[in-house]
């Protein structure tokens, strides 16, 4: 039993690092698509992801059947994920992509809050302190002001909230035995249909280059969704979520190499606070003093 748990956790770590790289690529491709409206980018990102997920289901002959009692969690995951995605895309379009990435990765800290209500997972005092510390770090990235320039940063933080709620429901679905590809396909189809009316009413023509980057965005998004869904189905967020912060490293490297972006000093301080908090929280979670691999607070 313990060996299987450790194996699942290792797989979860590999999946979540793979997801981080895919989502960093997605953010790069979003930005390189140019002046296409945010909602239009969101539509095609999910449309292509839906085709990939649907094709995978058909190829593997997975029955298109939702587990009993899982529909409400799929809807909650999809609504929260849609909010998180739209806010994240807006942030990526207007911020340094590593800034947008770190704000989106407030999701594990929001997940601590939501897990209390959805999964009945009791957090320790250390966990709650980590939430406060992470939000302090976010303030360095957001740099709050009363001007419109702060809107993208606040949108990025809201995207993290939506992602945190979405992944909490992914974990719930994983515990209930829902197929990970069904979760991905349902979310992609839900968001595609949700954004279709806006596309039909406000479509903006795109160049061949923009179409190419949108296809790449969809491919990267599908990869990220598949990996993150498998990761949280294998292990609790509190055990593996720290590795999700590798997206900041990937995004910073990609942003510098392809966009010439450099985060400012305040943002770097925010990165350090948030990532250090995540590492400390993770070390407490997998403390060796608990022979089950998790600390007593959980």
Per-domain boundaries in the chain? 2-285
pTM: 0.82
pLDDT band per the 50, 70, 90 thresholds, residue 237: low
Q: Is the pLDDT of residue 244 over 90?
A: no
Supply the pLDDT for residue 285. Answer: 63
Summarize the confidence of residues 38-61 as an average pLDDT.
89
> Rounded to an integer, what distance in angstroms lies between the CA atom of residue 75 and that of residue 30?
25
Q: Is the pLDDT of residue 293 over 70?
A: no
Q: Is the pLDDT of residue 289 over 60?
A: no
> Rounded to an integer, what distance in angstroms lies between the CA atom of residue 274 and that of residue 187?
28
Average pLDDT for the chain: 86
- Are 203 and 37 in contact by the 8 Å Cβ rule? The answer is no
- Are 19 and 227 in contact by the 8 Å Cβ rule? The answer is yes
Supply the pLDDT for residue 146. Answer: 62
Q: Is the pLDDT of residue 290 over 50?
A: no
pLDDT band per the 50, 70, 90 thresholds, residue 13: confident
Instruction: Could you list the beta-strand ranges (E) of 128-240.
Output: none
**36: left (phi > 0), else alpha (psi -120 to 50), else beta?**
beta
According to DSSP H, which parts of 38-179 are helical? 38-59, 71-94, 97-104, 107-118, 125-142, 151-175
Q: Is the pLDDT of residue 71 over 70?
A: yes
- Are 210 and 37 in contact by the 8 Å Cβ rule? The answer is no
- Are 92 and 31 in contact by the 8 Å Cβ rule? The answer is yes
What would the two tokens of residue 225 be? 């969704």
Determine which helix (DSSP H) or strand (DSSP E) holds 199, and give its type and residue range: helix 180-202
> Rounded to an integer, what distance in angstroms lies between the CA atom of residue 19 and that of residue 26?
10
Q: Which of 86, 218, 90, 234 is nearest to 163 (CA)?
A: 86
Q: Which of 176, 163, 141 is nearest to 241 (CA)?
A: 163
Q: Is the pLDDT of residue 291 over 80?
A: no
Residue pLDDT, tens place only, 97-112: 999 999 988 887 888 8
Supply the pLDDT for residue 296. Answer: 29
- Are 297 and 124 in contact by the 8 Å Cβ rule? The answer is yes
What would the two tokens of residue 166 be? 């979405």
> Rounded to an integer, what distance in angstroms lies between the CA atom of residue 49 and that of residue 62?
17
Q: Which of 37-41, 54-58, 209-213 has the lowest mean pLDDT?
A: 54-58
DSSP helix/strand/coil, 40 = helix
The residue with greater pLDDT, 294 or 273, is 273
Supply the pLDDT for residue 62. Answer: 85
- Are 232 and 164 in contact by the 8 Å Cβ rule? The answer is no
């Amino acid at each position: 039993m313990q060996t299987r748990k450790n194996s699942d956790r290792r797989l979860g770590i590999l999946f979540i690092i793979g997801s981080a790289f895919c989502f960093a690529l997605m953010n790069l491709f979003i930005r390189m698509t140019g002046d296409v409206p945010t909602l239009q980018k969101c539509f095609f990102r999910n449309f292509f992801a839906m085709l990939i997920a649907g094709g995978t289901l058909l190829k593997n002959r997975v029955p298109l059947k939702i587990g009993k009692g899982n529909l409400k969690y799929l809807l909650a995951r999809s609504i929260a994920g849609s909010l998180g995605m739209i806010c994240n895309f807006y942030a990526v379009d207007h911020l340094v992509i590593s800034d947008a990435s770190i704000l989106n990765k407030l999701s594990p800290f929001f997940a601590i809050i939501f897990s209390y209500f959805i999964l009945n997972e009791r957090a320790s005092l250390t966990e709650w302190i980590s939430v406060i510390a992470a939000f302090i770090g976010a303030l360095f990235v957001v740099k709050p002001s009363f001007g419109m320039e702060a809107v993208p940063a606040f949108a990025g933080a809201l995207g993290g909230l939506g992602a945190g709620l979405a992944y909490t429901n992914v974990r719930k679905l994983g515990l209930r035995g829902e197929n990970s590809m069904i979760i991905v396909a349902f979310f992609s189809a839900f968001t595609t249909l949700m954004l279709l009316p806006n596309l039909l009413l406000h479509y903006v023509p795109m160049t061949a280059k923009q179409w190419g980057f949108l296809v790449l965005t969809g491919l990267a998004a599908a990869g990220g969704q598949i990996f993150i869904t498998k990761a949280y189905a294998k292990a609790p967020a509190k055990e593996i979520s720290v590795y999700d912060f590798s997206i900041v490293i990937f995004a910073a490297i990609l942003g510098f190499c392809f966009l010439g972006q450099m985060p400012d000093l305040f943002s770097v301080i925010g990165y350090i606070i948030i990532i250090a908090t995540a590492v400390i929280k993770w070390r407490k979670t997998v403390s060796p003093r608990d022979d089950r691999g998790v600390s007593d607070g959980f």
